[in-house]
C-alpha cells in the first residue's frame, strides 16, 4: 500500500496515477473532505472532473500502519508542522516530499525538514515540470526523483513510475529541491512582467537572468550544475514561467495588473522568495532578480519600480 499525505490537487493526482500500481491510501487533513471524497469518489474541491479509481481509499485522522512508501503532498509551509505532529508514525519510512519551496522558519528545503524532524527516515523528493491535472488525466509527464541513498532512490523510482509518469533519478537532493523552489520565485516575476504588459522579450530576459541566479544560489549550497539544467531546474522553470495553470505565474500576473489574488490558493513562491533572499544575504550572494521579486511580493515596490531597479544596475559581462 502506498500512503499519500495531502488530498489537494497534486496529492489526488498522484493517487490517481499510482492506483495503476496497486492500493493507495490518500490521507486528508479535513475529515469532512475525506468522507466526501470517499463517498462521492471524486475530489470535487480540487479535481472535480477526475474520478477516483477503486484502488484509492481516502481517510483522515491517524496515519495508517503498513505503508511500503509514503509521499508528502502538502504545501511547503505546512510540511514542518505535519512532520512534527506525525513523526512517530513516519520515522522509519522512506519519505518522499512532493512540495517545492524553502521553509520560512528554518530556511530548510523539504528533505532538510524531513532529516531534522524524522532522523530515522530516508528523505527523498519528487519534483519537476508538472501540473496536477495533466498527471491525473494520464498525460505524459517526466519528473525527477532525488534521494541521497542511491539504492533507495532506485527502489522508489521503480515503485512510483507508471505508464504515463516517467521518473529520472539523482542523488543530488539539494539541486533538485532548490530548482523546484527557486523557479517559483522567477515565475512570479514573469507573471508580473506579462500582467503589466511589458512583453515576451522582457519575460525571456527575466527567465534567463533568473536562471543564472538559480545556478548561483544552488552552487553556493553544494548543488550540482547538471541538476539545475535538468527537469527539476530548467524544465520546471520553463513550464511555470509560461503557463497560466501555474498559481505562481497567475499570482504574478495579478501583481502586474494591480489586482487582488485568490487568498485561498497556495503560492509557494511568495514565502520562498523571502526565505531565499534571507539566505542569499547571509551568503553575500548578489541576487537582484530575487530581490526585486521579493519587494513586489511584500509590497515594497510596484512593477515599474522593480523594472527601473533592474535596468539601472551597472552594465556587466554576461
Which residue in the block uniquely carries the three cell numbers 527539476? 232
Question: How many other C-beta atoms lie within 10 A of the C-beta of residue 284?
Answer: 7
List 122's β-bridge partners, or say none. 94
Which residue in the block uniquely carries the three cell numbers 519519505? 95
Q: How many whole angstroms separate alpha carbon 6 and alpha carbon 10?
A: 8
Backbone angles phi, psi at 311, to 5 degrees: -75, -20
Q: How many whole angstroms separate alpha carbon 107 and alpha carbon 181?
A: 12
Tell me the three cell numbers of residue 26.
Answer: 490518500
- Active-site residue 183, yes or no? yes
Residue of 65, 100, 183, 316 marked catalytic: 183
Tell me the CA end-to-end span of the chain in Å, nearest whole number. 50
* N residues, the chain: 318
C-beta pairs of 307-311 under 8 Å, 24+ apart in sequence: 307/198, 307/202
Tell me the three cell numbers of residue 79.
Answer: 510540511
Closest CA to 93 of 124, 65, 66, 70: 70
Q: Does residue 149 contact residue 170 with C-beta atoms inside 8 Å?
A: no
Q: Which positions are catalytic? A: 183
Amino acid at each position: 500500500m502506498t500512503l499519500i499525505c495531502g488530498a489537494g490537487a497534486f496529492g489526488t493526482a498522484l493517487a490517481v496515477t499510482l492506483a495503476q500500481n496497486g492500493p493507495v491510501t490518500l490521507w486528508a487533513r479535513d475529515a469532512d473532505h475525506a468522507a466526501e471524497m470517499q463517498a462521492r469518489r471524486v475530489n470535487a474541491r480540487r479535481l472535480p472532473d477526475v474520478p477516483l479509481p477503486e484502488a484509492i481509499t481516502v481517510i483522515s485522522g491517524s496515519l495508517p500502519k503498513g505503508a511500503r512508501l509514503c509521499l508528502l503532498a502538502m504545501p511547503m509551509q505546512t510540511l514542518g508542522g505535519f512532520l512534527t505532529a506525525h513523526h512517530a508514525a513516519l520515522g522509519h519510512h522512506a519519505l518522499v516530499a512532493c512540495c517545492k519551496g524553502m521553509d520560512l522558519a528554518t530556511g530548510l528545503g523539504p528533505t532538510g525538514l524531513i532529516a531534522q524532524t524524522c532522523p530515522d527516515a530516508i528523505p527523498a523528493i519528487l519534483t519537476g515540470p508538472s501540473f496536477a491535472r495533466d498527471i491525473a488525466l494520464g498525460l505524459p509527464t517526466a519528473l525527477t526523483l532525488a534521494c541521497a541513498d542511491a539504492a533507495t532512490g532506485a527502489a522508489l523510482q521503480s515503485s512510483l513510475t507508471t505508464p504515463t509518469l516517467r521518473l529520472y533519478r539523482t542523488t543530488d537532493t539539494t539541486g533538485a529541491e532548490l530548482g523546484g523552489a527557486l523557479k517559483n520565485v522567477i515565475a512570479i516575476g514573469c507573471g508580473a512582467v506579462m500582467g503589466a504588459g511589458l512583453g515576451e522579450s522582457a519575460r525571456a530576459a527575466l527567465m534567463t537572468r533568473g536562471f543564472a541566479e538559480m545556478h548561483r544560489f544552488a552552487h553556493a549550497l553544494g548543488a550540482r550544475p547538471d541538476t539545475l539544467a535538468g527537469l527539476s531546474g530548467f524544465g520546471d522553470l520553463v513550464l511555470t514561467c509560461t503557463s497560466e495553470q501555474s498559481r505562481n505565474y497567475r499570482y504574478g500576473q495579478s501583481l502586474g495588473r494591480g489586482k487582488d489574488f485568490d487568498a485561498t490558493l497556495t503560492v509557494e513562491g511568495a514565502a520562498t522568495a523571502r526565505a531565499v533572499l534571507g539566505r542569499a544575504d547571509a551568503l553575500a550572494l548578489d541576487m537582484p532578480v530575487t530581490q526585486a521579486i521579493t519587494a513586489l511580493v511584500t509590497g515594497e515596490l510596484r512593477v515599474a519600480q522593480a523594472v527601473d531597479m533592474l535596468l539601472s544596475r551597472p552594465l556587466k559581462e554576461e
